[in-house]
Structure 1
Amino acid sequence: MKIQLTSVFVDDQAKALRFYTDVLGFVTKHDVPIGETDRWLTVVPADDPDGTELLLEPSHHPAVKPYRDALVADGIPLAVFAVDDVRAEYERLREHGVRFTQEPLDMGPVTTAVFDDTCGNLIQIASQA
Protein backbone atom coordinates (compact mmCIF):
# COMPACT_ATOMS: atom_id res chain seq x y z
CA MET A 1 0.00 0.00 0.00
CA LYS A 2 1.23 3.51 -0.76
CA ILE A 3 -0.11 7.04 -0.75
CA GLN A 4 -1.17 8.03 -4.26
CA LEU A 5 -2.96 11.30 -3.50
CA THR A 6 -3.27 13.67 -0.59
CA SER A 7 -4.76 17.14 -0.44
CA VAL A 8 -4.54 20.59 1.03
CA PHE A 9 -7.58 22.84 1.14
CA VAL A 10 -6.99 26.15 -0.62
CA ASP A 11 -8.98 29.37 -0.70
CA ASP A 12 -8.16 30.12 -4.34
CA GLN A 13 -7.02 27.39 -6.73
CA ALA A 14 -5.37 29.76 -9.23
CA LYS A 15 -3.39 31.49 -6.47
CA ALA A 16 -2.47 28.13 -4.95
CA LEU A 17 -1.29 26.79 -8.30
CA ARG A 18 1.00 29.79 -8.79
CA PHE A 19 2.45 29.41 -5.28
CA TYR A 20 2.92 25.64 -5.41
CA THR A 21 4.49 25.72 -8.89
CA ASP A 22 6.26 29.09 -9.24
CA VAL A 23 7.52 29.32 -5.64
CA LEU A 24 7.71 25.78 -4.29
CA GLY A 25 8.71 24.17 -7.59
CA PHE A 26 6.01 21.54 -8.06
CA VAL A 27 4.62 20.89 -11.55
CA THR A 28 1.00 20.50 -12.62
CA LYS A 29 -0.10 16.89 -13.07
CA HIS A 30 -3.87 17.28 -13.63
CA ASP A 31 -5.98 20.36 -14.29
CA VAL A 32 -9.53 19.28 -15.09
CA PRO A 33 -12.54 21.61 -14.79
CA ILE A 34 -15.21 20.47 -12.33
CA GLY A 35 -18.39 22.51 -12.42
CA GLU A 36 -18.32 26.20 -13.16
CA THR A 37 -15.46 27.34 -10.93
CA ASP A 38 -13.58 24.40 -9.46
CA ARG A 39 -10.90 22.11 -10.89
CA TRP A 40 -9.39 18.72 -10.17
CA LEU A 41 -5.97 20.32 -9.75
CA THR A 42 -2.98 18.26 -8.69
CA VAL A 43 0.74 18.94 -8.53
CA VAL A 44 3.72 16.62 -8.16
CA PRO A 45 7.42 17.09 -7.47
CA ALA A 46 9.26 18.17 -10.63
CA ASP A 47 11.76 15.34 -10.20
CA ASP A 48 9.09 12.69 -9.56
CA PRO A 49 6.23 13.10 -12.07
CA ASP A 50 4.74 9.74 -11.10
CA GLY A 51 5.05 10.39 -7.37
CA THR A 52 2.39 11.24 -4.81
CA GLU A 53 -0.02 13.86 -6.12
CA LEU A 54 -1.04 16.85 -4.02
CA LEU A 55 -4.62 17.94 -4.69
CA LEU A 56 -5.17 21.69 -4.36
CA GLU A 57 -8.71 21.21 -3.14
CA PRO A 58 -11.26 24.04 -2.91
CA SER A 59 -12.08 24.88 0.70
CA HIS A 60 -15.86 25.25 0.27
CA HIS A 61 -16.96 22.68 2.85
CA PRO A 62 -18.14 24.44 6.05
CA ALA A 63 -15.89 22.27 8.26
CA VAL A 64 -12.72 23.43 6.52
CA LYS A 65 -12.50 27.00 7.86
CA PRO A 66 -12.79 26.19 11.58
CA TYR A 67 -10.43 23.24 11.17
CA ARG A 68 -7.75 25.26 9.37
CA ASP A 69 -8.22 28.30 11.64
CA ALA A 70 -7.63 26.09 14.69
CA LEU A 71 -4.50 24.53 13.19
CA VAL A 72 -3.05 27.92 12.22
CA ALA A 73 -3.91 29.45 15.62
CA ASP A 74 -2.01 26.63 17.32
CA GLY A 75 0.88 26.78 14.82
CA ILE A 76 0.23 23.23 13.58
CA PRO A 77 1.27 22.47 9.98
CA LEU A 78 -1.31 20.81 7.74
CA ALA A 79 1.36 18.92 5.81
CA VAL A 80 5.06 18.10 5.88
CA PHE A 81 7.24 18.22 2.77
CA ALA A 82 10.66 16.55 2.72
CA VAL A 83 13.61 18.60 1.48
CA ASP A 84 17.30 17.78 1.24
CA ASP A 85 18.42 20.79 3.31
CA VAL A 86 15.92 22.81 5.37
CA ARG A 87 18.28 25.74 5.86
CA ALA A 88 19.00 26.08 2.13
CA GLU A 89 15.31 25.74 1.26
CA TYR A 90 14.43 28.28 3.96
CA GLU A 91 16.80 30.81 2.37
CA ARG A 92 15.54 30.07 -1.16
CA LEU A 93 11.91 30.46 -0.16
CA ARG A 94 12.56 33.65 1.83
CA GLU A 95 14.13 35.13 -1.31
CA HIS A 96 10.75 34.43 -2.98
CA GLY A 97 8.92 36.32 -0.23
CA VAL A 98 7.63 33.29 1.67
CA ARG A 99 6.66 34.08 5.27
CA PHE A 100 7.90 31.60 7.84
CA THR A 101 6.20 31.08 11.19
CA GLN A 102 9.07 28.90 12.42
CA GLU A 103 12.67 29.38 11.36
CA PRO A 104 14.85 26.29 10.91
CA LEU A 105 14.95 24.32 14.13
CA ASP A 106 17.21 21.36 14.86
CA MET A 107 15.35 18.62 16.71
CA GLY A 108 17.84 15.80 17.06
CA PRO A 109 18.12 13.99 13.74
CA VAL A 110 15.53 16.23 12.05
CA THR A 111 15.56 19.91 11.09
CA THR A 112 12.23 21.62 10.43
CA ALA A 113 10.79 25.00 9.46
CA VAL A 114 7.19 26.11 8.95
CA PHE A 115 5.79 28.55 6.39
CA ASP A 116 2.48 30.07 5.35
CA ASP A 117 1.39 28.79 1.94
CA THR A 118 -0.67 31.98 1.27
CA CYS A 119 -3.77 29.80 0.81
CA GLY A 120 -4.77 29.27 4.44
CA ASN A 121 -2.33 26.58 5.55
CA LEU A 122 0.89 26.18 7.44
CA ILE A 123 3.33 23.78 5.77
CA GLN A 124 6.37 22.24 7.43
CA ILE A 125 9.55 21.37 5.59
CA ALA A 126 11.83 18.77 7.12
CA SER A 127 15.16 17.11 6.46
CA GLN A 128 16.97 14.30 8.22
CA ALA A 129 20.55 14.83 9.36
Structure 2
Amino acid sequence: MLKRLAHVTLYVHDCEEALRFYTEKLGFEKRMDSRMDDGSRWLTVGLPGQEIEIVLHDPTHWHREDVAQEMLRQVGKNPMWVWETDDFGSTYETLRQRGVKFVSEPNEVMYGMEVVFEDLYGNRFLLLQPVFL
Protein backbone atom coordinates (compact mmCIF):
# COMPACT_ATOMS: atom_id res chain seq x y z
CA MET A 1 0.00 0.00 0.00
CA LEU A 2 1.19 3.53 -0.64
CA LYS A 3 2.68 5.08 2.47
CA ARG A 4 3.88 8.61 1.62
CA LEU A 5 5.17 10.83 -1.15
CA ALA A 6 8.94 10.89 -0.64
CA HIS A 7 10.36 12.89 -3.57
CA VAL A 8 9.26 15.21 -6.35
CA THR A 9 11.63 16.06 -9.19
CA LEU A 10 12.41 19.51 -10.52
CA TYR A 11 14.49 19.65 -13.71
CA VAL A 12 17.30 22.21 -13.49
CA HIS A 13 20.08 23.46 -15.77
CA ASP A 14 22.65 23.71 -12.99
CA CYS A 15 22.50 21.89 -9.66
CA GLU A 16 24.73 24.39 -7.84
CA GLU A 17 22.74 27.48 -8.81
CA ALA A 18 19.47 25.68 -8.03
CA LEU A 19 20.83 24.59 -4.64
CA ARG A 20 21.84 28.18 -3.81
CA PHE A 21 18.39 29.51 -4.81
CA TYR A 22 16.40 26.97 -2.81
CA THR A 23 18.61 27.12 0.29
CA GLU A 24 19.59 30.81 0.39
CA LYS A 25 16.42 32.43 -0.94
CA LEU A 26 13.65 30.02 0.09
CA GLY A 27 15.16 28.58 3.27
CA PHE A 28 15.32 24.91 2.27
CA GLU A 29 18.00 22.63 3.67
CA LYS A 30 20.21 20.32 1.64
CA ARG A 31 19.27 16.72 2.44
CA MET A 32 21.28 14.46 0.14
CA ASP A 33 24.17 15.14 -2.20
CA SER A 34 25.69 12.04 -3.78
CA ARG A 35 27.98 12.22 -6.79
CA MET A 36 28.34 9.15 -8.96
CA ASP A 37 31.41 8.03 -10.91
CA ASP A 38 29.66 8.80 -14.21
CA GLY A 39 29.19 12.49 -13.27
CA SER A 40 25.55 12.20 -12.27
CA ARG A 41 24.39 13.68 -9.00
CA TRP A 42 21.55 12.88 -6.59
CA LEU A 43 20.79 16.22 -4.92
CA THR A 44 17.75 16.81 -2.73
CA VAL A 45 16.46 19.68 -0.64
CA GLY A 46 13.55 19.94 1.77
CA LEU A 47 11.85 22.30 4.14
CA PRO A 48 12.97 21.97 7.77
CA GLY A 49 10.58 19.69 9.63
CA GLN A 50 9.07 18.10 6.51
CA GLU A 51 9.88 14.68 5.10
CA ILE A 52 9.22 15.26 1.40
CA GLU A 53 12.29 16.13 -0.65
CA ILE A 54 12.70 17.94 -3.96
CA VAL A 55 15.20 16.32 -6.30
CA LEU A 56 17.14 19.05 -8.13
CA HIS A 57 17.73 17.05 -11.29
CA ASP A 58 20.16 17.99 -14.05
CA PRO A 59 19.41 15.25 -16.58
CA THR A 60 22.57 15.62 -18.67
CA HIS A 61 24.49 12.82 -16.92
CA TRP A 62 21.54 10.55 -16.12
CA HIS A 63 19.93 9.99 -19.51
CA ARG A 64 20.62 9.49 -23.21
CA GLU A 65 21.27 12.79 -25.01
CA ASP A 66 17.84 12.96 -26.69
CA VAL A 67 16.01 12.21 -23.43
CA ALA A 68 18.13 14.70 -21.49
CA GLN A 69 17.47 17.43 -24.07
CA GLU A 70 13.71 16.81 -23.85
CA MET A 71 13.89 17.12 -20.06
CA LEU A 72 15.95 20.31 -20.30
CA ARG A 73 13.29 21.84 -22.57
CA GLN A 74 10.88 21.41 -19.65
CA VAL A 75 12.97 23.50 -17.23
CA GLY A 76 10.82 26.40 -16.02
CA LYS A 77 7.56 24.75 -17.09
CA ASN A 78 6.80 22.81 -13.92
CA PRO A 79 3.15 22.74 -12.76
CA MET A 80 2.51 25.26 -9.99
CA TRP A 81 3.15 24.06 -6.45
CA VAL A 82 1.51 25.68 -3.42
CA TRP A 83 3.66 26.51 -0.38
CA GLU A 84 1.74 27.22 2.83
CA THR A 85 2.78 29.65 5.53
CA ASP A 86 1.26 30.62 8.86
CA ASP A 87 2.68 34.17 8.68
CA PHE A 88 2.09 35.55 5.21
CA GLY A 89 3.41 39.07 5.83
CA SER A 90 6.68 37.96 7.38
CA THR A 91 7.31 35.21 4.83
CA TYR A 92 6.52 37.49 1.90
CA GLU A 93 8.83 40.21 3.22
CA THR A 94 11.68 37.76 3.92
CA LEU A 95 11.48 36.28 0.42
CA ARG A 96 11.24 39.75 -1.14
CA GLN A 97 14.35 40.91 0.75
CA ARG A 98 16.22 37.80 -0.42
CA GLY A 99 15.52 38.78 -4.03
CA VAL A 100 12.77 36.30 -4.88
CA LYS A 101 10.88 37.47 -7.98
CA PHE A 102 7.15 37.94 -7.37
CA VAL A 103 4.92 37.96 -10.44
CA SER A 104 1.79 39.14 -8.66
CA GLU A 105 0.90 41.36 -5.75
CA PRO A 106 -0.30 39.88 -2.46
CA ASN A 107 -3.98 39.20 -2.82
CA GLU A 108 -6.65 38.49 -0.24
CA VAL A 109 -9.01 35.82 -1.53
CA MET A 110 -11.85 33.89 0.08
CA TYR A 111 -9.49 31.06 1.06
CA GLY A 112 -6.66 33.23 2.43
CA MET A 113 -3.75 35.43 1.35
CA GLU A 114 -1.75 34.50 -1.73
CA VAL A 115 1.01 35.68 -4.02
CA VAL A 116 2.78 34.06 -6.97
CA PHE A 117 6.57 33.91 -7.23
CA GLU A 118 9.13 32.32 -9.55
CA ASP A 119 12.30 30.37 -9.04
CA LEU A 120 15.47 31.09 -11.00
CA TYR A 121 14.17 29.12 -14.01
CA GLY A 122 10.68 30.61 -14.17
CA ASN A 123 8.79 27.84 -12.37
CA ARG A 124 5.84 29.46 -10.65
CA PHE A 125 4.84 28.81 -7.06
CA LEU A 126 1.96 30.06 -4.93
CA LEU A 127 2.66 31.28 -1.40
CA LEU A 128 -0.54 30.82 0.59
CA GLN A 129 -1.70 31.50 4.10
CA PRO A 130 -4.99 29.61 4.13
CA VAL A 131 -8.10 30.59 6.02
CA PHE A 132 -9.72 27.45 7.30
CA LEU A 133 -13.44 27.64 6.56
The Cα shift of 1:25 comes to: 0.9
Question: Which whole-Å CA distance do the structure 1 matches of 2:79 and 2:92 have between them?
Answer: 16
- Taking structure 2 as the reference length, the TM-score comes to 0.77
Residue in 2 that maps onto 1:64: 71
Residue in 1 that maps onto 2:20: 18
Task: Please give the secondary structure, in 1, of the residue aligned with 2:11.
Answer: strand
1:108 maps to amino acid: M
Residue in 2 that maps onto 1:54: 54
Q: Residues 5 and 95 from structure 1, CA distance in 2 versus in 1: closer, same or farther, beyond 3 angstroms?
A: same
Residue in 2 that maps onto 1:113: 115
Unaligned runs of 5+ in 1: none
2:26 maps to amino acid: L
The Cα shift of 1:67 comes to: 4.0
Higher strand share: 1
C-alpha RMSD of matched pairs (Å) = 2.2
Task: Please give the secondary structure, in 1, of the residue aligned with 2:104.
Answer: strand
Question: Which whole-Å CA distance do the structure 1 matches of 2:42 and 2:111 have between them?
Answer: 37
Unaligned runs of 5+ in 2: 61-67
Question: Which whole-Å CA distance do the structure 2 matches of 1:29 and 1:55 have between them?
Answer: 10
The Cα shift of 1:16 comes to: 0.7
Q: Residues 88 and 15 from structure 1, CA distance in 2 versus in 1: closer, same or farther, beyond 3 angstroms?
A: same
